Chain A
Amino acid sequence: MVYTKKHPALLIMGIIFVAIAYLTESGGMSSMVDYLKAGKYAGEMVGMGYAFGAIAIIVGLWHLVGSHSEGNLDYYLSAVAGAIFILLLAMLVRWYLAPLVAVISKGLGPVMGAKYLHEVLGLNYVVLGILAGIITVNVFRIPVWAENGVRLSRLGLKTGVILLGTLYSLAELQSLGKLSAIMVGFFVLGSVGLVLFLGKRRNIPSSMGGVLSAGMGVCGVSATVAAAPVVQAKAVEIAYTIGTILIWGVGCMFLFPVVGHMLDLGYIQFGAWAGTGILNSAQVAGAALAYQPDGIETLKVAEIFNITRVLFLPLIVLWLAVWYVKQEGGDDTQKVNVGRVVFEKFPVFVLGFILMFAFSSTGVFAPAQHYKGKYFDNNVKESKLLSDEQVAMVSAEAGKLQRNDRKQAINTMLENRKIMSIDDETLIRGIYNAKIMSKDASKVLKGATKAVRHTAKKISAFRQWITLLFAFGLTGLGMQITFASMKQAGGQPLVIGGVVGTVKAVLSLIVIVLFVKETI
């Protein structure tokens, strides 16, 4: 079969991208960009517009006038049309539609405290991109020439997750890793156990209970597909499970950010909740980016939880294999090859994340001790040193400090007019975060820490790539959420899934609100 379609769509999309870049660069769209307050995206419009436009025009010409024959080249290059289709939709939403929604929402005035309607409902480029995808596939249709490319969206998400590894420092990973292992361990194993228990009580077949437990406990559709062979699930049981997961997952993706804003959860709290309570990996990323669209702190936390959960997949598949054989009265030692199950089901892209983190830790992208992409360097300009006035202001309030290490850090800073070490910088950050001194003195301390903290350019570039990959992946994800797949849900699996999903979401929220603080 030849996959490449002789169709001008890719070429036209390339011309649109180039036109956007040219008009933005020449100022032809400046009044619209100003009205939408979308000036911060001008760099993207020009850079990405020319880059994607050039790729689309070159490949589009080849699609249109080239001769195509069956083979890998035809198969993979045919996907470019769909990939550009997703990118164009995602970027139109990010650059124009989301800013327009924000302008209209601000025009309506605040609706809940100081928050605007679009903030409360989380109507940002991520949510709107997913909605655009869902509307495209369900109301219109995915063009035939774009179908192969739509299947590339999960690749974008996986690549984004691997690149996220560059953004963590060892301290962040240690703190988040411990928390996620405890939370995810408890809730994953608990969900699997609860589904199996309820399944037995309600007399559903073992294969149905097994495949549903994997989907509800671990990471949604991927876990369902991975566990299906070991519990010998039938196609109809896989369909029931996927339908249940999608209804639940899509609902959570839109509902979680709204609840998070209403409870005013911090980024770490929300990331931990989304990573624990939402079933499908892609929807975890969607909810995290919906909650914090202009930063990726929430995404970083949510993905650590998601990765921890994915790491449970081989263990759960193994558990289900042994459980199923026992339920069906067989000899498990004969039928289950433990090593093989673990090897086959291990998600290799998680190793990529660890590998990228290891690279980053060596300091190739930013000094190894970077924290959230910023690193310590106190070779600062004369103009950035503390002035006599500032020294006097902080000296006058130094008596408020109780701890000796903090006193010492302040004294060293005052003597040198700048922060001298990374440890001192941490202590001084603690002083202004704890609001020990007056507002003005705290401002001086904040300025002093800012002077010695530098943003790593490479880390900023990685953030941009990650944002792009997730925007691409999530808009493409929307194009895969068909009503037909959700209509598959029904009967006992939907009831059991609903009960377990609700219990997990509510319990994990309670645990997070009570025990997880914004201290990592």
Chain B
Amino acid sequence: MTDQQHDSQDIDLQEEAGAKFHRGSALSVFHSDRAEDFIALLAAMLIALGVYIMV
């Protein structure tokens, strides 16, 4: 995709059954909400471990 073709208003564009709509402020790099939840849990545990050991 070139910069000219690119429009950042489409950052949240989602396609479902052939129709497109803007998903709004709930974007994710992960394939599902549950995967994101588990990664958040892992990140929080790592931060907690770091704080426990280093502070």
> Interface on A for B, CB 8 Å cutoff?
75-76, 79, 137-138, 141-142, 144, 147-148, 150-155, 158-159, 161-163, 166, 220-222, 225-226, 234-236, 238-239, 242-243, 245-246, 280, 282-283, 347-349, 351-352, 355-356, 359, 364-365, 457-458, 461-462, 465, 477, 479-485, 488
Chain B residues with CB under 8 A of A158: 36-37, 40
25 residue pairs A–B, Cβ–Cβ below 8 Å: A137-B11, A138-B9, A144-B1, A151-B28, A151-B29, A153-B27, A154-B28, A155-B40, A158-B36, A159-B40, A242-B21, A242-B22, A242-B23, A246-B25, A348-B41, A349-B37, A352-B37, A352-B40, A356-B48, A461-B51, A461-B55, A479-B11, A480-B25, A484-B22, A488-B21
Chain A residues with CB under 8 A of B9: 137-138, 482-484
Q: With A158-B36, A235-B17 in contact, do A79 and B47 touch (Cβ < 8 Å)? A: no
Chain B residues with CB under 8 A of A226: 33
Q: With A147-B8, A242-B23 in contact, do A155 and B28 touch (Cβ < 8 Å)? A: yes
CB A318 to nearest CB in B, in angstroms, measures: 17
Number of A-B contacts (CB under 8 A): 148
CB B50 to nearest CB in A, in angstroms, measures: 9
> Interface on B for A, CB 8 Å cutoff?
1, 3, 6-12, 16-17, 19-30, 33-34, 36-41, 43-44, 47-48, 51-52, 55
Q: Which residue of A lies closest to B46 (CB)?
A: A159
- C-alpha gap A372/B51 in the complex (Å): 18
**Interface residues of chain A: helix, strand, loop or mixed (majority):** helix
- C-alpha gap A277/B28 in the complex (Å): 25
**B3, A166: Cβ atoms under 8 Å?**
no
**B24, A242: Cβ atoms under 8 Å?**
yes
Chain B residues with CB under 8 A of A245: 24
**A159, B43: Cβ atoms under 8 Å?**
yes
**A458, B52: Cβ atoms under 8 Å?**
yes
CB B53 to nearest CB in A, in angstroms, measures: 10
CB A207 to nearest CB in B, in angstroms, measures: 13
- C-alpha gap A457/B41 in the complex (Å): 22
Chain B residues with CB under 8 A of A161: 40
- C-alpha gap A348/B24 in the complex (Å): 22
Chain A residues with CB under 8 A of B51: 365, 458, 461-462, 465
Chain A residues with CB under 8 A of B43: 155, 159
Chain B residues with CB under 8 A of A162: 40-41, 44
Q: With A236-B19, A458-B51 in contact, do A481 and B37 touch (Cβ < 8 Å)? A: no
